[in-house]
Amino acid sequence: MHGTRILEEADRLMTVCNSCRYCEGLCAVFPAMEMRRAFSDGDLNYLANLCHACGACYVDCQFSPPHEFNVNVPKTLAIARAESYAAYAWPRAFAGVFARNGLVISLIAALSVAAFIFGFAAVHDRQVLFGVHTGPGAFYQLMPHNAMAALFAAAFGYAIVALVMGVRAFWRDIGEPVGMKTDAKSLLQAFRDAGELRYLDGGGVGCFNEGERPEDRRKLYHHLTFYGFMLCFAATCVGTLYHYLLAREAPYAWWDLPVVLGTLGGIGLLTGPAGLLAAKWRRDPVLVDTQRYGMDAAFTMMLFLTSLTGMALLLWRETAAMGPLLALHLGVVFALFITMPYGKFVHGIYRFAALVRYARERQMTGHS
Ligand code: SF4
Ligand code: SF4
């Protein structure tokens, strides 16, 4: 007996697949499945998060609908995966709220914070909001640096605590049979697999989006999004070092390192999420969890809006539009941080943890 209906279905499918084994070369899910004879809830959540939703096993399967076995591994694991985000979320009460309304909640949070900063500045001193400010410290006319740093450190700190609590619960649940400890070799292998998105190519042919012809663009869009995010994070870290170590205040010149990193990252975060959203829109509904489009799309959309408002701020930072644009950008970044532990962001973290477990299992069973 499993905790949910979808885990019951995932168990049924894994039992069918374990007898068939036709797809064992496609990705990590099938070899990991073959190491088991029975599946606990933790095992199924592990397999669900190991799946990259490439769709290849649906297209290749002789038992997919209309066959009476009704085998649809990508969709079943997508639903199990989404439910696992809620099951491991911290605090639990917030998880369900985001499942269907993720995009609306994220947008309301972003606009609320932006409106608060905008209103506060407008009431306090309209000239600060609509004036032209240039040179070091221009951004802090709208909001003092310490207040800005405290607000975002609190939001980021909350996101980190919630994410750590979630991944801890996930890791505990998927712990058997190899135990809780991991090692450097497994970690390195997982970093390599995650960095290359190794299992997002249907065993080498590409990802299935619509129809039966594979294409590889989802992998490209994922790469643009991931490396765009990392470059923007690096830009923020360098900017923080500039501020505290070199006493150099933002905004910086276009050729300065934080701006170069932020611009390259921003381009990645515009093109990657736009491509992912378009691919999601076109994707065959038979492969995806159509009930949770909101949660799925929310994080991708927030990344896109973070980049869009950041790039607009870069372009118009020396005009009277700077104040309203900065308020909007800060609102979007704040909303991105506080919604991160309850949306699609966690899929990257749980998937990485699943890849570490997989590398460890292979090592212990002599497969690597
Ligand atoms: S998805 Fe279909 S073809 Fe692939 S292993 Fe499972 S039952 Fe076999
Ligand atoms: S959808 Fe792709 S990654 Fe997921 S189980 Fe099937 S082949 Fe593996």
Q: How far is the CA of 287 from the centre of ligand 1 (A)?
A: 15
Please state the rounded mean pLDDT for residues 320-330: 92
Q: Mean pLDDT over residues 163-173, rounded?
A: 92
pLDDT at residue 235 in the model: 96
pLDDT over 70, % of the chain: 92
Q: What is the mean pLDDT of residues 202-213?
A: 66
pLDDT band at 180; cut points 50, 70, 90:
low
Residue nearest to ligand 1 atom 2, measured at CA: 61
Q: Per residue in 100-130, pLDDT tens?
A: 667 777 788 888 888 888 887 888 778 878 8
Q: Whose CA is nearest to atom 7 of ligand 1?
A: 17
Task: Look at residue 209 in the predicted model and tell me its pLDDT.
Answer: 62
3-state secondary structure of 215: strand
Q: In the predicted model, is pLDDT for residue 204 greater than 70?
A: no
> What mean pLDDT value characterizes the chain?
88
Q: What is the pLDDT of residue 51?
A: 94
Predicted pLDDT of residue 176: 64
Cis peptide before 136 (omega within 30 of 0): no
Atom number, ligand 2, closest to the C-alpha of residue 287: 1
Q: Which ligand 1 atom sits nearest the alpha carbon of residue 73?
A: 1
pLDDT in tens, 241-300: 999 999 999 899 999 999 999 999 999 999 999 999 998 888 888 888 877 766 678 889
Closest ligand to the CA of 200 = 2
The answer to whether residues 56 and 27 touch, using CB atoms and an 8 Å cutoff, is yes
Cα 202 to ligand 2 centre (Å):
7
* CA of residue 32 relative to chain centroid, distance: 23
CB-neighbour burial class of residue 19 (10 A; exposed 0-12, middle 13-18, buried 19+): exposed
pLDDT of residue 290: 76
* DSSP of 52-118: ----HHHHH-TTSTTSTT---HHHHHHHHHHHHHHHH-SSHHHHHHHHHHHHHHHHHHHHHHHHHHH
Whether 102 and 342 have beta carbons less than 8 Å apart is answered as yes
Pocket residue to mutate for ligand 1, from 15, 27, 57, most atoms within 8 A of Cβ: 57
- 16 CB near ligand 1 (under 6 Å): yes
If you measure from the C-alpha of residue 74 to the centroid of ligand 2, how many angstroms do you get, rounded to a whole number?
6
Q: Is the pLDDT reported for residue 330 higher than 70?
A: yes
Average pLDDT on 155-166 reads 93
pLDDT given at position 50: 95
236 φ/ψ sector (left φ>0, alpha ψ -120 to 50, else beta)? alpha
Ligand 1 centroid – CA 29 distance (Å): 11
> Mean pLDDT, to the nearest integer, of 37-56?
93
Q: Is 51 in the pocket of ligand 2 (CB under 6 A)?
A: yes
pLDDT at 347: 87
**Ligand 1 pocket, residue 14 CB under 6 Å:** no
pLDDT digits (tens, 9 = 90+) for 65-93: 999 999 999 999 999 998 998 889 888 87
Atom of ligand 1 nearest to the CA of 17: 6
Q: Which atom of ligand 2 is nearest to the CA of 55?
A: 1
Least confident segment among 40-54, 74-88, 177-191, 260-274 = 177-191
CA of 66 to the centre of ligand 2 (A): 19
Cα of 70 vs centre of ligand 2, distance in Å, is: 16
pLDDT at 93: 77
Q: What is the pLDDT of residue 63?
A: 96
Mean pLDDT along residues 55-69: 93
